[in-house]
Structure 1
Amino acid sequence: MAPGTLELLVSPVVMDWWREHGKRWGPAIAGGLFGAGWWFWVDAVAVSSTHKPFSQYLPGIVATLSLIMINSVRRDELLSYDPYDEGTFCRSRFWLLMAYGISLAAIGGSVVVMLHTGGSVASIMQVACILGAALVLFTSRSEGEGGGGGYEGF
């Protein structure tokens, strides 16, 4: 996206609030979205009178895997380019590309589940909430937070 493109899609008031409070409230919002996503699916399974095969659980599991993959990348590895970093820049971007590809597969799988079950949107709502949680959590972190690249705290 070009600089300033996000401001065309989101209100400047919301952007200012997110810059100021996103680090504090982002994990709570992401946790709420993640819980709501799984609640949609568990509620649909509990109310259903038919048995759901394991294959219909896969989009939610894959979306959860994608959430973990997206948030294992450190944001500072994506923002700075050092020609002598031995491929960290490329590995991080490739990992994030794979995570987004898996997210797309989860969305496609949830649509297939919806069409297969005859109109239940629970799987789509589940995947949408989980992937929304992944993006909220990723954008709420600071530059050096997240990822498993280093052991600075040990």
Structure 2
Amino acid sequence: MGAQEIWNSVGPGLAGAVFGTAWWFWVDAVVCSAITVPFLHYLPGIAASLAALMFNCVKKEELVEYSPFDDGEGCRSRTWLFLAYVISFVSLAGSVGMLIEDALVEGRPSTWTGVAGVLQCTFVLASGLVFWTSRSANEF
């Protein structure tokens, strides 16, 4: 059994564990918060989860061949992947913005809520990348 086969068998479980850890951080921060966490604070984690789902919808073999004049499957896949990465980085930037707001503004959720939001987005996106890299080329 080669390294790629081991990664293909271990990777999805590892991705699920990292994804669960990400949401555990967020649930812990919401439950331990002294005040009600506004729904706006939930959006970066939801967007990161959506982005992870989006870039796992792209097949690896669609990205192998590239022609700059291709208007077919490869171009659509690259555009979809680009959009997924834009959403993922915006969600990460949003969570960092929430962290700064929580740390500086009085009457907002605790700084731990902001830190948990950043950890959640980072771990969700990492789990999506782990799952995408551990999929074999003939899946989906």
Range into which the TM-score falls when normalised by the shorter chain: 0.7 to 0.9
Q: 3-state DSSP class of the match of 2:35?
A: coil
Does residue 72 in structure 1 map to residue 29 in structure 2?
A: no
Calculate the TM-score normalised by the size of structure 1: 0.79
**Counterpart of 2:116?**
122
Count of residues in Structure 1 that have an aligned counterpart in Structure 2: 130
- CA-CA distance at 1:128 after TM superposition: 0.6
Runs of 4+ with deviation above 3 angstroms: 81-86
Q: How does 1:3-152 map to 2 (within 5 A)?
A: 17=3, 19-81=4-66, 87-118=72-103, 119-120=111-112, 121-146=115-140
1:72, 1:43 → 2: CA distance?
29
Once the two structures are TM-superposed, the CA of residue 127 in structure 1 deviates from its matched residue by: 0.4
Counterpart Cα distance in 2 of 1:22 and 1:35: 19
Counterpart of 1:57 in 2: which secondary structure? helix
What do you get for the CA RMSD once the two structures are aligned? 1.8
8 Å contact from structure 1 (residues 75, 145) kept in 2: no
Indicate the structure with greater helix content.
Answer: 2
Give ranges in structure 1 of 5+ residues lacking alignment. 1-15, 147-154
Give the alignment's TM-score, normalised by structure 2: 0.86
Name stretches of at least 5 consecutive residues in structure 2 with no aligned partner.
104-110
Give, as a single letter, the amino acid of the residue that structure 2 aligns with 1:44: A
Q: Which has the higher contact order (CA 8 A, sep 6+)?
A: 2
Cα distance in 2 for residues equivalent to 1:27 and 1:62: 21
Deviation per CA, 1:30-77: give whole Å up to 9, x if none: 000100000000000001111100000000000000011010000000
